[in-house]
Structure formats: C-alpha cells, structure tokens
Amino acid sequence: MAADDNQAIRAAAFLARALALPATPEEIALDLERVAERDTGPTFAVELDSSVGPAAFLIYVYELAADGAARATFNGDLGTLEDAAERGGPGPRIVAHLDDGAFGFILATAPATARALLGAAESTAPVPEAAIPRSAAEGLRQRAEAAGQLLRLLTAANAEAVRWLAAAETAGSPADSNGPPTTLDLTPEETALALLLLDDAGVRALLRTMNAVLAAAGGRG
C-alpha cells in the first residue's frame, strides 16, 4: 500500500480513531490492502493485533460528496449490516461508523471478533428442545435426514465452488497457471463469505460433523 494513497490514509485515520490505535494514519495505511473498488469508494482489509488477539477488519469508504448515490449506498449498507446483526445472520458486524459530511466509513469484522471486542460472551445457546432426539430410533432418523440435507447442500456448494474458481481464474494474468490469483477485488457477497470463514463459530458445527462422519467411515476399514 502506498503511503501517499489519500483514501487509504483517510481509512487508516478512521481505523485509528475507532480502535484507539497508537500508530499514525500514515503508518497504518501501509498495512491496508485494497480489496474492492466500487463506484462509491474503496474497501480496505487489514489484520491487527487487537485487544482480543489477531483480528481481521474491513474498512468501507464512501465518497459522500461525489453524488447522492454514495450516501444512499452508505445508509443502505449500514441498514443491511445492522439488520443482519439483529437477526444473528452470517456476514460482517459493524464495529464503528462515521459520516463526516464528505466521507463515510464503516468498520466491520467477523461476528466472533465483534462479540469479543464488545465484551459479549461467546454464544453458547443450547440445542433447541425440538432438535434433541427423544429415543435412539428418533436419533437415527434425525441423523439420516440431516445427512441427506448435508449431502444435497454440500454437493450444491461444491458445484458453486467450481463455478467460482472458474470465474476467479479469469481474473488472473495469462501467467497465472496455478489457480485463481491470491488477490481479488472482493464483491460484497465474497466479503461476507470471507468473514463467515474467518469467524471462529462460522462453520464450526459443519466442520465437527464432517470430521465425525469421516472418523466413523475410517473406523470401518
């Protein structure tokens, strides 16, 4: 990142203020990576050693003085992120935001990081009573139904991953022969996916289930 990138320095100044960082905006800007560019402004990513350990953050920048569309996008993004947080859905969580008239900023991170920064305990909600099998036979039926759904959804997810890889590889230069480039201008949907995967709790249950099934399958041999 170029130290004279004005947008990066503005984003870094907002980040420093939001997280009370001791470094100067110019110093912080060197660590920012521009991951997306929209008509309304860039999006930067950075990983910091925060009070809760290493954490990934996104800084959305909006050029509010440019036209009314940027302000509408800024307000719309704020509303979307706030609604997702209220519903407990996947995707980024707002840590801070700022509208100084000329520019708007949103600082977002993964749900688990946001909970830790805000001092909230990790969600430990119990399994709903209706999901707890009442007998061994009911447990077998529930496992079979869930496994069937997982098979269908994972097969579909893998097909989507094949589509994504094919599209991402076209974003690389002709010299790129080992798959998609390591740096991409992420779309909002890809950004939400990235933060879901970065969240410690994002796909924890899925990974535990896959490991349990693989272990059981391996034990048959």
pLDDT digits (tens, 9 = 90+) for 78-105: 988 888 788 777 678 899 999 999 999 9
Q: Which domains does the chain have, with CATH numbers?
A: 6-117 (3.30.200.20), 129-218 (no CATH)
What CA–CA distance (Å, rounded) separates 76 from 67?
Answer: 15
Burial profile 150-162: b = 16 or more Cβ within 10 angstroms, e = fewer: eeeeeeeeeeeee
Phi, then psi, of 115 in degrees rounded to 5: -60, -40
What is the rounded average pLDDT of the residues 196-207? 75
Tokens of 37: 């560019």
What CA–CA distance (Å, rounded) separates 172 from 180?
Answer: 6
Check residue 175 and give its pLDDT: 41
pLDDT digits (tens, 9 = 90+) for 44-54: 988 887 776 77
- Per DSSP, the three-state class of 211 is helix
Strand partners, 44: 34, 59
Question: Which one, of 203, 197, 167, 160, lies nearest residue 185 by Cα?
Answer: 167
Half-sphere exposure of 63 (CA within 13 A, CB side): 11
pTM: 0.62
- Per DSSP, the three-state class of 198 is helix
